[in-house]
Structure 1
Amino acid sequence: MRKGLHLASGIVPTRRAVLLGAISTVVAGCSTGMGADQAPTAAITPQAGAEAVQRPPVKLAIILPLEGMGETAAIAKSMKQGAELALFERNDPYVQLITKSDGGTAVGARAAATEAIGEGAEIILGPLLSDAVASAAPVARAAHVPMLAFSTDHKVAGNGVYLMSFLAEQEVDRIISYAASRGKRHYAALIPEGPYGDVVEPAFRSAVKRAGGLAVIVERYPATANGMLTPAKRVMESIKQGDDEFAPIDALFLPGGQEALPQIGPVIAYSGLNPHKVQLLGTGAWDFPSIGRDDAFVGGWYPSPDPQAWQGFAERYAKTFGTAPPRLASVAYDAVGLAISLSTSPPGSRFTEENLTRPNGFSGVDGIVRFAANGLSERGLAVLEVQKFGSAVIDRAPTAFAPTKLSSATEQVVR
């Protein structure tokens, strides 16, 4: 039995009940039974071992929009559970967790950060929403407390705020550079309107240019019923025209996610698009279990962390909490692991910029990650191919960073 678990005699609980009870006890007491000495390479998963010398607890805070019944609150609750699972598995009695809800508002985030710092937090994990990050950041900076935020908005990064999230610009760069390495030169794109599309479109154009390719046609579509039909028709006509003029488009970039792809699939099928001639490309938004149910996307490529570690995490999460985790649960899990890996340093030297931006970075469920001084993260991503049942890795993710400057995709965001 793991240290710190005390069961009444005569009770034989299930593994799930033991884990849930232990996690509840640990979090309620603001202490963990997870963690160990920092690995020499600063991996998120530290080496096993025990502290011989008693030391004061290290306090971490996580801020998430936990109230409500909507999708955002559901994701936030799963991230909280991911953080709790990391705490339990690392078994470090010297680390404490402070959980705060910001209510999904900027005002709430500022108050949550103030409370957490007042309770002794040395690092803040979160918030999730960009407005909340922007509001909490001045409080954290004034107290010299760094933040590992879960927002994807690069505008809130920097000056002590590091983005733990997946950045769309790097996903685009990864999939386009891989497609180019496979001989793809002429690209079409069908991109959603809105903030996500506003980030993806310039990233796509820049990535194609860097790869020596040509963006032949780029169409945007509104997030309304049947809103993509006319733009999609123009893209399909351009692809057909390229074939007729012997200047074929050989890749179609579709960065939509689970809410958009089911509408695009029938359009692709009706157009008669030949997947052997036109390679479908996506982003990390393609990383959902049912994508292969639509034959239109089978054979498509998209970037993602290597799925092997994620699968192990998902199984442990499901056994503990009784439900499959959404993708962001592992980001919170890794954020806690990263913080624990740095927690054994002396007070004042744990969560410094030098430690957080070390060139070798950190590794966890979602692979390797490192931070630049400007707060942007760089991740090592694999390329996956959609299959009828699941997806398969066709280009593995790197397991270590080369001793060079951050990627061109990361630099592109800063300019």
Structure 2
Amino acid sequence: MRNLKRGAVVAAVLAVAACGGGGGFSGWGSGPSRSSGPVAPSGETIGSGSVRVGLLLPNSAGGDASSVARLFRNSAELAINDFQGGDIQLLVKDTNGSSEGGKAAAQAAIAEGAELIIGPVFAPAVGGAAAAARSSGVPVVAFSSNSSVAARGVYLLSFLPQNDVRRIVSFAAKRGKKSFAAIVPSNAYGQVVEASFRQYAGEFGVRVLGIERYDGTEADIRAKAEAIATLGPQIDAVFIPDGGGAARIIAGVLAQKGVTSQTVQMLGTSQWDNPAILADSSLRGGWFPGTDKAGYQKFASRYQAAYGVSPPRTGTLAYDATILAAGLVRSAGARRFSEDILTNPDGFLGIDGVFRFRRDGTNERGLAVYEVASGQARIVDPAPKSFSAGY
């Protein structure tokens, strides 16, 4: 527990004192009005500090969304309990997972004095909350992985696929891989990773000799894998961003055609971190990025002790967002949630390692690189402990 608390507290204080300049956001209000004072909180609150922070969750959305809401609510409460003496109070508001719900929830939290919005979870609700927060100058730290809702003053703390692609392409290039092919799903995720793959291939000086896109059928996956296999003699790496069954089918077809992990380097994303892929012999030796596991394991142990269940992987997001808010209140004074503080290039250290917000609202994370090794994920390049120049 000592190590968990120490790492969490550091999240909010790395290099904050070095920030300079003013706050505020271009096109946003100058901050929440306090002329008549905030109204008394309604609904659930967590913590008893003097600085109010909205926590926007899809409580009434039903199904899996309600489970996510409970996970994030509990993770935020765990953070409040871990950060002893934190001077924040969370105002829990329901978004129903919708744009209208997100807007109404943000308006309610701001009316009750919220200086920062944590959440929402889903992209439509993030868009709605951002619309309400913009006029009041209240920044948003949201959990959607859809980077289209990121904007100045709307920061995504989620696990973005762009970070996966950057890390694995740069690492492979440093290891001497120069000629790549890729096979990606024909969906929104595939579009994002393909665009990132092309961008970072150019940035890190590798050639892209072919990209194939497949639909959801096994027949099409096999056909596109066979097309990639024809490039075998010309390439030294194949990027397969999808996880689960698709990656295993692709690797199996490539192996049948003589394109194996002994002849080319298989590259994946954090979606490869699952037992089926780690046990697949065709993918053995493949590289994929991911967060450092040690922090999550400590978090999961404490969460299970507190709530009786093991938390899904994304629970750390709400924990880190809450610790960040509490730490900035303690360390950054009246400018605690200003743009220059939140976008400090030195970043912050959370449960999942170092991260920082960019001014466009997206984030960068320091990721490790793992190797598929007979049912295990073996670290081949540790996650960085800080953002060095040029990271």
TM-score by length of 2: 0.83
2:139 to 137, 146, 167: 146
| Pair 1:185-2:178 in alignment | yes
Aligned match of 1:372: 358
Query: 2:307 corresponds to which letter in structure 1?
Result: F
| Pair 1:321-2:321 in alignment | no
1:210 to 198, 203, 216: 203
Which consecutive unaligned segments of at least 5 residues does structure 2 have? Answer: 1-7, 18-47
Shift of 1:340: 0.8
| Pair 1:281-2:267 in alignment | yes
Written as runs of structure 1 = structure 2, the 5 A alignment for 1:60-71 is 60-71=53-64
The 2-side partners of 1:37 and 1:228 are apart by 42
Query: 1:180 corresponds to which letter in structure 2?
Result: A
Per mean C-alpha deviation after superposition, the further-off stretch among 344-353 and 186-195 is: 344-353
The 1-side partners of 2:206 and 2:156 are apart by 30
Aligned match of 2:290: 304
Shift of 1:148: 0.6
- Deviation readout 1:384-409 (Å, 9 max, x if unpaired): 112223312111111112256xx5xx
Aligned match of 2:24: none
Shift of 1:39: 4.0
Aligned match of 1:334: 320
SS of 2:230's equivalent? helix
The 2-side partners of 1:326 and 1:347 are apart by 34
Per mean C-alpha deviation after superposition, the further-off stretch among 191-200 and 254-263 is: 254-263
| Pair 1:113-2:99 in alignment | no
SS of 2:380's equivalent? strand
Could you say if the C-alpha distance between residues 74 and 388 of structure 1 is closer, same or farther in structure 2, counting changes exceeding 3 Å?
Answer: farther
- Deviation readout 1:297-338 (Å, 9 max, x if unpaired): 222111112222222222222333333322211111111111
The 1-side partners of 2:88 and 2:388 are apart by 32
Identity value in percent? 40
Written as runs of structure 1 = structure 2, the 5 A alignment for 1:1-150 is 39=13, 41-42=15-16, 57-92=50-85, 94-150=87-143
The 1-side partners of 2:384 and 2:177 are apart by 22
| Pair 1:363-2:349 in alignment | yes
The 2-side partners of 1:270 and 1:321 are apart by 47
Could you say if the C-alpha distance between residues 188 and 351 of structure 1 is closer, same or farther in structure 2, counting changes exceeding 3 Å?
Answer: same
Aligned match of 2:34: none
SS of 1:219's equivalent? strand
| Pair 1:223-2:209 in alignment | no
Shift of 1:77: 2.9
Which consecutive unaligned segments of at least 5 residues does structure 1 have? Answer: 1-33, 44-54, 243-247, 408-415
- Deviation readout 1:8-52 (Å, 9 max, x if unpaired): xxxxxxxxxxxxxxxxxxxxxxxxxx9799646459xxxxxxxxx
The 1-side partners of 2:75 and 2:64 are apart by 16
- Deviation readout 1:239-289 (Å, 9 max, x if unpaired): 2xx2xxxxx321110100236335445434544532121111111222334
The 1-side partners of 2:191 and 2:126 are apart by 20
The 1-side partners of 2:10 and 2:261 are apart by 49
Shift of 1:351: 0.8
